[in-house]
Structure 1
Amino acid sequence: MRMGSLAMAAAVLILAAGCADTHPVAHAPLPLPSTAPASPGPKLTIDSPNGIKGPVGELIHTGLHDPHGDEYVIFGITGAGPRSPKDFGFAIGFREPKNKVTADDSLTEWVGSPSAPGFHPMNGQKELSDGSVQPAYGYYAGTPATISVQEAGRPIQAHLARWSHDPTITVFWFDPADVHDDDRWAQLAAYDASGNRLPDGRILRM
């Protein structure tokens, strides 16, 4: 990882779901960003020390940047964590000049099908040793209109993008500028366009 070791130790946290308030957050859906490359260029290369193969589908542009000015991107992967060629996961990394992408972090489903409806294990926001913050991200099997989380009773809405390889999969991430204290997150939930709560799936944060 270019930015050094994480300043916080990773821990698994189950986000409260079953007893959560089922009322949707009163926010209009954030626009879905384009997954198309920003401009034509040399063939995309992935630099990964963990055997990750990708990207599967187009890069998802988060609009967020690391301290070097390189944009954080999320992309589909195979290899490493996935248990078979049919399985998949996602990685986050930064896109450097000449279409080089360095995979900084990845997530996969390790219980059941990665396509089962609902949430799958997500990676929480991470403060890195240089003081920068890598955004929390994950994926939802389905096509919700909104995804939100409660932070000490304050709603935070996620940014969404459909996976170009399989548009029934929705990738989401949270802008660190919107986050005050992610240790107080609860009630991660997905809603359809009518405000109905969708299946939770497995709500886990790494």
Structure 2
Amino acid sequence: MSKRILVAAVAAAAGAVAGAVLLSGVPASANAATPVPTAAAAAAVTTPALGDVIPSGFGDVVFYGVPVQLPRLPETTFGIMAGARDAAGGLTNLVATNETSGSDKAPGFHAVAAGMNVGGHDVPTFGYYYGPAAKITARIRGTVGVAHQARWSEDPNVVVFWFDPGVADPENLQAFDAAGTELPAGDTGVGHG
């Protein structure tokens, strides 16, 4: 399974407002080049939130589901968006990831995106796990870190997870059920894009 960044906010010229831009179909992986925005997607895109908005606990950054409807991805119906919530409760899309190969509901990790700064917002490394993950860990610079996580209200089998902002890419992602049994890995690669 691979992942790609579907939507990312980009800062326009000095003083301009950040808007969401649909990216090309270039897979986002540690070895992939940064995707280039398509010409047709230069305008701002508003993507509706699916389900409850999940606060990250870090400033105004939040996570929420977004619909994905692309004919070339028939088994992908949703992605996870990192966004920013303003004081009035409005949402600004920052960056989203989604599955690009196979089912978005196959057991394991999906769509893990590296942390980045988008429009002045520190978006941490995030993604989702499909299955009964009660604890998600990774090796970060030689120590084991535990991810923050929350179940998605639209599908309780989807566990959205994220690490603290500014940490190095997590390695050796692992998920465990409530009894401490390791769960299937899926795609543990971290995408950059």
TM-score (norm 2): 0.71
The answer (yes or no) to whether the contact 1:50–1:80 under 8 Å persists in 2 is: no
Q: What is the aligned partner in structure 2 of residue 112 from structure 1?
A: 102
Between the aligned partners of 2:81 and 2:119, the Cα distance in structure 1 is: 20
Alignment of 1:13-28 (within 5 A): 13=30
Between the aligned partners of 1:85 and 1:102, the Cα distance in structure 2 is: 26
Q: Which runs of 5+ in 2 are unaligned?
A: 1-8, 14-26, 32-42
Between the aligned partners of 2:76 and 2:28, the Cα distance in structure 1 is: 28
> How far does residue 4 in structure 1 lie from its aligned partner after superposition?
6.6
Q: Does 1:77 align with 2:77?
A: no
The Cα offsets for residues 131-162 of structure 1, whole Å up to 9 and x where unpaired, read as: x6321110000121110110232011100100
Paired residue secondary structure (2:113): coil
- Code of the residue aligned with 1:117 in structure 2: it is P
Superposition RMSD on alpha carbons, in Å? 2.8
- Code of the residue aligned with 2:80 in structure 1: it is F
Between the aligned partners of 1:201 and 1:166, the Cα distance in structure 2 is: 18
Q: What is the aligned partner in structure 2 of residue 61 from structure 1?
A: 55
> How far does residue 85 in structure 1 lie from its aligned partner after superposition?
9.3
Percent identity among equivalent residues?
33
- Work out which of the residue numbers 163, 176, 184 in structure 2 matches 1:191: 176
The Cα offsets for residues 152-174 of structure 1, whole Å up to 9 and x where unpaired, read as: 32011100100001111100011
> How far does residue 97 in structure 1 lie from its aligned partner after superposition?
2.6
Q: For the structure 1 residues 128 and 98, does the alpha-carbon distance in structure 2 shift closer, same or farther, using more than 3 Å as the test?
A: closer
Q: Which runs of 5+ in 1 are unaligned?
A: 15-47, 66-70
Q: For the structure 1 residues 160 and 63, does the alpha-carbon distance in structure 2 shift closer, same or farther, using more than 3 Å as the test?
A: same
TM-score (norm 1): 0.67
Q: For the structure 1 residues 72 and 147, does the alpha-carbon distance in structure 2 shift closer, same or farther, using more than 3 Å as the test?
A: same
> How far does residue 175 in structure 1 lie from its aligned partner after superposition?
1.2
Q: How many residues align?
A: 158
Q: What is the aligned partner in structure 1 of residue 148 from structure 2?
A: 159
Q: For the structure 1 residues 80 and 49, does the alpha-carbon distance in structure 2 shift closer, same or farther, using more than 3 Å as the test?
A: farther
Between the aligned partners of 1:138 and 1:99, the Cα distance in structure 2 is: 23
The Cα offsets for residues 20-58 of structure 1, whole Å up to 9 and x where unpaired, read as: xxxxxxxxxxxxxxxxxxxxxxxxxxxx93463x21101
Q: Does 1:89 align with 2:106?
A: no
